[in-house]
Structure 1
Amino acid sequence: MLTPGFLFILRGIARIFILSIISLGAGYFIETLLGFTVVPRHLTAVAVALAVPTLIAARITWVYHAQRRRAFALGAAPVPVWSGKWPGSVDLLVFLMGRFERGYPGEGFWEAIEEFGPIFNLRVLWQNTIFTTQPEHIKAILATDFGGYEKGSRFHEIMESVLGTGVFNSDGDMWKFHRSMTRPFFSRDRVTHFDIFERHADDAITAMKSRLRSGYSIDFQDVMSRFTLDSATEFLFGKCVHALQSRLPYPHGMKPAGDTERTQADIFAEAFGEAQYVIAFRSRQGDTWPLFEMFKDATKAPMKIVHAYLNPILREGIERQEKAELEGKVHEGKIDEIDEDETLLDHLVKHTKDLTIIKDEILNIMIAGRDTTAATLTFAIYALAMYPHILKKLRAEVMAKVGPTRRLTYDDIRDMKYLRAFINETLRVFPPVPFNVRDTINETTLSPTTEGGKPSYIPPASIVTYSVFLMHRRTDLWGPDALEFDPDRFLDERLHKYLTPNPFIFLPFNAGPRICLGQQFAYNETSFMLVKLLQNFDSVTLDESAQPPDSRIPPEWANVAGRQSVERFFPKMHLTMYAHKGLWVKMREASSDPSSL
């Protein structure tokens, strides 16, 4: 099987061959008209070699001029270009790739925003790559002009080896099919069923207490990833991977000799995480990504592990449905009715028996249901460690509304205003999906960014990247304290001053027809675990000494403006944000003495 790199080169050779034929044909045509040889035969190859880049350059120049003419014809303005110094702005690509590996999320973009405004064109390798943090633009992309944008063939090709044609990697009828299959399962009575959360939250807290009582710090991100993986797998296909039964990792340099335990759940989770990292890295390499996978598809090995784990479970679900149909236990016209104990897998196999379609959808929902919630909980505990006064206030609400032992209910969640504000502030400052992308289908315009300005012209087949991470931190949208972590902004006059009149400045779950189906599920799971944690622990502190050395904050961050200078963990991102090599914390168990509350 050809690797992505070789396929990329073959396509390039084919294009050059076609251009060479055109060049030769044009040369012979001119010579026929003139009646004599323009280029000596022994120099024909040289002439063709020079003609190919000339034709490419001519085409690029012509396209740019044509796009400028179209912009002016529509009363719009071309998007300002953030240009590099090398041809095709390759140096800009190298810079951004370096920031992706070693920098703070969004690093480099703030300077570009200050220079060009909230929308600009990177135009790396002569491809229009529009970048925006403007809420009106994001609203158009996601909602008001939804039909003018799609995930597109480029995104699909990058993600296909992991996401297949699932709901996050499809457009048109395939997207509608996946969406219609999945939507009924996320009704209120399903996402407020807390038994799954309680079982796995209890397992997580037991594991944390055991390790903390031994005198070690814990990697809270690791625990939350296990908790959400166990919850997600049980919710999705009724078979928990029991990740929380595996031994928790030890702080840097403290792993006992001979401790080499790795379970199937560990192997599955690591492989799934590696595959996600690969496709995220591809997306940042643009059209050149296949060149970095010349000799292998980098997702093949990890996805082989993922498929080996999932396939037997999914086949069992299909066989169970086929048996029910043969026994006459399935009633026509009730395909969207969901029984009390029905899993998403049970629901999907009523729509299709295609193993690939079912697996694609399960994997897509698993990423959404596991990684984003694990990230939110990780950043939430980081905030509680950074701001003890917020922990004290939040815990007081938990004790007042739920008490030290009672299980949280849906009504409790609705009543706990500060808990919801705290989760929203976590999602604002650290949105789990910080960057997203669409392709334009046809030419379009985006609204002016200044009063009296012209709209921005967006050519057809352009890549449009938008960042809620950067939008959530804009002081002109959220006020002068936008970079501070303050849950009260969702409760006091700032809510009515900034968010109420412009709700598209806060988009942790996207918006429009593609809005996250699991939004309420995520709020419920996050709320449930936070309440459980605060019932059991009354103090959280960071243990930076437990971090592996290469995941500690670089000293130069102290000289950078904004949150980067005060951060005490290393946020990074693949498809979602995460703490680089974990978030190591110490937690104090709450006293059973009521007077200590």
Structure 2
Amino acid sequence: MPTLPPGPRFLLRHMHYLVLPPTSVFLGAVLVQGLGGVRLPTLAIVLAYLLSFPFFWLGYRAWRDVSIKRAAAARGAIVLPLAKLTKDIKFTGEEGYPRDFLFRLCEIWGHSFMLELYSVERLFTSEPEHIKAILATDFDSFEKGELFRDQMQSLLGVGVFNADNELWKFHRSMTRPFFSKDRISHFENFDRHATDALTQVKARMREGYAIDWQDLISRFTLDSATEFLFGKDVRSLSKGLPYPPTADVRHSQPEEDGFAAAFYEAQMASARRGRFQDVWGLTEFWKDRVIPYKAAIDKFINPILEDALRTKAEKATADVVDTKEVSEEDTLLSSLLKVTDDRDILHDEILNILLAGRDTTASTLTFAVYRLAEHPDILFRLRQEILSIVGPSRRPSYEDIRNMKYLRAVINETLRLYPPVPMNSRSAARDTVFPSTTTREPVFVPAGTTCIYSVFLMHRRKDLWGPDALKFDPNRFLDERVQKYLTPNPFIFLPFNAGPRICLGQQFAYNEVSFMLVRLLQQFSAIEFVPEVAPESMTPPGYTNSPGSDGTDRVWMGFHLTGYAKGGLWVKMTEATNE
């Protein structure tokens, strides 16, 4: 059944706001003229109709503010202050340092406050205790919510990341058995695609050109994820690597991978809706901007899904008994088919897991290599650990990766400064209270409030991580700072969320990132960051003049559903000798 376009859907959902004010004026005019016998001038009635909307809105806001303050007082809590944007602190989209305005507001208003955008108030927090309540201790009081589901419906459908309550529990129970230890440490898949990727890097380095590591690693994770999930990869690496924009024009660029491009554009279109909050539907009134890209994604997914459903039907017809246990040979899709044959649920679930499996690891590997390029001393130490444990050519095992403590520290420090999902949100399902912190009394959260929380900001707080919080230093996960900061308050580090909705693929991601970094540094001894070969990747003037930066940032960070490097991450690498 086709759904309405975003604009009409928005109007229907908010019809009571559109109908109630003029209806009240109409009934009032009828009463005055009927009971009082007074004929009101037409101009006065028209003027009353027009003014009814702002007066109704102001009256509603005043009533709601009073109600919230009374409810907060009854619970012994406070109402958070409304942070004000000024001429010096303006809402920034993607043109400057990511969320610079939030860093600046936190300096004035603290780490939790109300923020009004497009006349709608939102609660913002980067307080560990508040995020802990949202994700764990008060989990049942929060949900993804109607607004998030509406914004993401055309991309995520009814998948696990867009579901609440019983539907979310169903998706979670379907997917959890697949992410067993044996499966996430099955490295043949990683090795095959890593070999393909790094062979292409060597060929390009020998030509003398930089590569876009972000593009390469996104293809690697896409091919790995689609093979892992479906048993069939999209072979995006086979398209070849792009040359730098400043390269000799005689070099033709490879054909763009349609699936990967559509996947990226669909996420960008979905993420833009967050800027407009509730009114996003008015910006796409008659046409959902995600749908054209979703068609290209479905062109790949649907044939695989139809083939799997047909195979299941054929087995049922032939009376072949299919065990419900997830076996070593099963893909995610075949394991899901053991639970349901609902086409929509299957489609949306594998798309949701594909999004997580591809983009989060690609983001981490992108920024890990950026930081290794910027810190040759860290790269050297990490490479020495790899060579001492694995050697220059052997494929790493699960035990090898577990024994590389500095590798894990480098990955954790990357996840701290560049969490794959920098911003997230929940909606309060009922009135609740955030616990007090060292700087704030208990906070009242009314039902229906959208709560935006940012681990990106929390991970960069100096009061939580020390005066060097903005510095990339893997040693903070190995030295006395672990006991000083992290052990007493583990919720200051949440790259994979926490609580019942913690990322099921967390260990899979650690394994994939670790495996690729090992293979990379076995074969390359140095990395150089060269953004000048792609002018669109160069950071704008004043980029590092942000409370969130230590002044050394040269990569232009962007956020859609996950973090990425704008314009790519262009690097040159030195191939290792037989040392």
TM-score tier after normalising by the smaller chain length: over 0.9
- What's the counterpart of residue 456 of structure 1? 443
- What's the counterpart of residue 76 of structure 2? 75
Aligned pair 1:239/2:241, yes or no? no
Q: Which amino acid letter does the alignment assign opposite residue 237 of structure 1?
A: F
TM-aligned CA deviation for residue 283 of structure 1: 1.4
TM-aligned CA deviation for residue 85 of structure 1: 7.2
| Counterparts of 1:254 and 1:113, CA distance in 2 | 43
Structure 1 residues 146-155 or 316-325, which shifts more? 316-325
- What's the counterpart of residue 106 of structure 2? 113
- What's the counterpart of residue 307 of structure 1? 298
- What's the counterpart of residue 533 of structure 1? 520
Aligned partners of 1:163 and 1:360 also within 8 Å: yes
Q: Which amino acid letter does the alignment assign opposite residue 96 of structure 2?
A: G
Change (3 A) 1:14 1:441: closer
TM-aligned CA deviation for residue 41 of structure 1: 4.8
Aligned partners of 1:142 and 1:512 also within 8 Å: yes
Aligned partners of 2:103 and 2:548 also within 8 Å: no
| Counterparts of 2:166 and 2:85, CA distance in 1 | 39
Where in structure 2 are the equivalents of 1:227-376 lying within 5 Å?
A: 227-254=220-247, 256-257=249-250, 259=252, 261-262=254-255, 266-331=257-322, 334-335=323-324, 337-376=325-364
Where in structure 2 are the equivalents of 1:127-276 lying within 5 Å?
A: 127-254=120-247, 256-257=249-250, 259=252, 261-262=254-255, 266-276=257-267
Q: Which amino acid letter does the alignment assign opposite residue 451 of structure 2?
A: V
TM-aligned CA deviation for residue 22 of structure 1: 2.2
TM-aligned CA deviation for residue 291 of structure 1: 2.1
- What's the counterpart of residue 533 of structure 2? 546
| Counterparts of 1:497 and 1:203, CA distance in 2 | 43
| Counterparts of 2:544 and 2:494, CA distance in 1 | 29
- What's the counterpart of residue 59 of structure 1? 60
Aligned partners of 1:557 and 1:564 also within 8 Å: no
Aligned partners of 1:167 and 1:175 also within 8 Å: yes
Aligned pair 1:496/2:483, yes or no? yes
Q: Which amino acid letter does the alignment assign opposite residue 29 of structure 1?
A: L
1:23 pairs, out of 25, 29, 33, with: 25
Q: Which amino acid letter does the alignment assign opposite residue 402 of structure 1?
A: V
TM-aligned CA deviation for residue 198 of structure 1: 0.5
Q: Which amino acid letter does the alignment assign opposite residue 566 of structure 1?
A: T
Aligned partners of 1:104 and 1:570 also within 8 Å: yes
- What's the counterpart of residue 577 of structure 1? 563
Aligned partners of 1:23 and 1:52 also within 8 Å: no
- What's the counterpart of residue 435 of structure 1? 423
Q: Deviation per CA, 1:367-420, whole angstroms, max 9, x where unpaired?
A: 110000001001110111010000010000001100001111111111111111
Aligned pair 1:414/2:424, yes or no? no
Unaligned runs of 5+ in 1: none
TM-aligned CA deviation for residue 445 of structure 1: 1.1
Task: With the length of structure 2 as denominator, give the TM-score of the two structures.
Answer: 0.96
| Counterparts of 1:183 and 1:494, CA distance in 2 | 34
Change (3 A) 1:41 1:573: closer
| Counterparts of 2:216 and 2:14, CA distance in 1 | 46
TM-aligned CA deviation for residue 6 of structure 1: 4.0
TM-aligned CA deviation for residue 256 of structure 1: 4.0
Aligned partners of 2:149 and 2:162 also within 8 Å: yes
* Partner SS, residue 528 of structure 2: strand
* Partner SS, residue 262 of structure 1: coil
TM-aligned CA deviation for residue 59 of structure 1: 1.1
- Between the two proteins, the alignment pairs up a number of residues equal to 577
Task: With the length of structure 1 as denominator, give the TM-score of the two structures.
Answer: 0.93
Q: Which amino acid letter does the alignment assign opposite residue 70 of structure 1?
A: A
1:423 pairs, out of 411, 415, 418, with: 411
Q: Which amino acid letter does the alignment assign opposite residue 123 of structure 2?
A: I
TM-aligned CA deviation for residue 48 of structure 1: 2.4
Aligned pair 1:405/2:398, yes or no? no
Aligned pair 1:485/2:472, yes or no? yes
Change (3 A) 1:187 1:255: farther
Aligned partners of 1:228 and 1:374 also within 8 Å: yes
- What's the counterpart of residue 575 of structure 2? 589
* Partner SS, residue 449 of structure 1: coil
| Counterparts of 1:183 and 1:223, CA distance in 2 | 29
| Counterparts of 2:500 and 2:14, CA distance in 1 | 37
1:557 pairs, out of 538, 543, 551, with: 543
Q: Deviation per CA, 1:187-242, whole angstroms, max 9, x where unpaired?
A: 10110111100100000101111111111000000110000000000000011111
- What's the counterpart of residue 379 of structure 1? 367
Q: Deviation per CA, 1:254-288, whole angstroms, max 9, x where unpaired?
A: 1544725426xx11100011000111110122112
Change (3 A) 1:85 1:374: closer
- What's the counterpart of residue 117 of structure 2? 124
- What's the counterpart of residue 455 of structure 2? 468
| Counterparts of 1:443 and 1:10, CA distance in 2 | 26
| Counterparts of 2:549 and 2:60, CA distance in 1 | 44
Aligned pair 1:43/2:31, yes or no? no
TM-aligned CA deviation for residue 29 of structure 1: 3.1
Aligned partners of 2:557 and 2:564 also within 8 Å: yes
* Partner SS, residue 152 of structure 2: helix
Aligned partners of 2:430 and 2:446 also within 8 Å: yes
Q: Which amino acid letter does the alignment assign opposite residue 276 of structure 2?
A: Q
Where in structure 2 are the equivalents of 1:77-116 lying within 5 Å?
A: 77-84=78-85, 95-96=90-91, 99-116=92-109
Aligned partners of 2:96 and 2:540 also within 8 Å: no
| Counterparts of 2:339 and 2:361, CA distance in 1 | 28
| Counterparts of 1:270 and 1:376, CA distance in 2 | 19
TM-aligned CA deviation for residue 45 of structure 1: 2.3
* Partner SS, residue 408 of structure 1: coil
Aligned partners of 2:145 and 2:164 also within 8 Å: yes
* Partner SS, residue 121 of structure 1: strand
* Partner SS, residue 93 of structure 2: helix
Structure 1 residues 5-14 or 283-292, which shifts more? 5-14
User: Percent same amino acid among aligned pairs?
Assistant: 49
| Counterparts of 1:559 and 1:11, CA distance in 2 | 42
Q: What is the aligned-residue RMSD (CA, Å)?
A: 1.9
| Counterparts of 1:360 and 1:12, CA distance in 2 | 27
| Counterparts of 1:377 and 1:491, CA distance in 2 | 21
Structure 1 residues 8-17 or 249-258, which shifts more? 8-17
Q: Deviation per CA, 1:466-512, whole angstroms, max 9, x where unpaired?
A: 00011001011011111111111111100011001110000000000
| Counterparts of 2:16 and 2:133, CA distance in 1 | 37
Structure 1 residues 50-59 or 206-215, which shifts more? 50-59
| Counterparts of 1:590 and 1:22, CA distance in 2 | 77
TM-aligned CA deviation for residue 55 of structure 1: 1.9
Structure 1 residues 348-357 or 167-176, which shifts more? 348-357
Aligned partners of 2:103 and 2:547 also within 8 Å: no
* Partner SS, residue 10 of structure 2: helix
| Counterparts of 2:512 and 2:342, CA distance in 1 | 30
* Partner SS, residue 122 of structure 1: strand
| Counterparts of 2:394 and 2:62, CA distance in 1 | 68
TM-aligned CA deviation for residue 104 of structure 1: 1.5
Q: Deviation per CA, 1:78-119, whole angstroms, max 9, x where unpaired?
A: 101013479xxxx99xx43xx222122221111111111110
* Partner SS, residue 100 of structure 2: coil
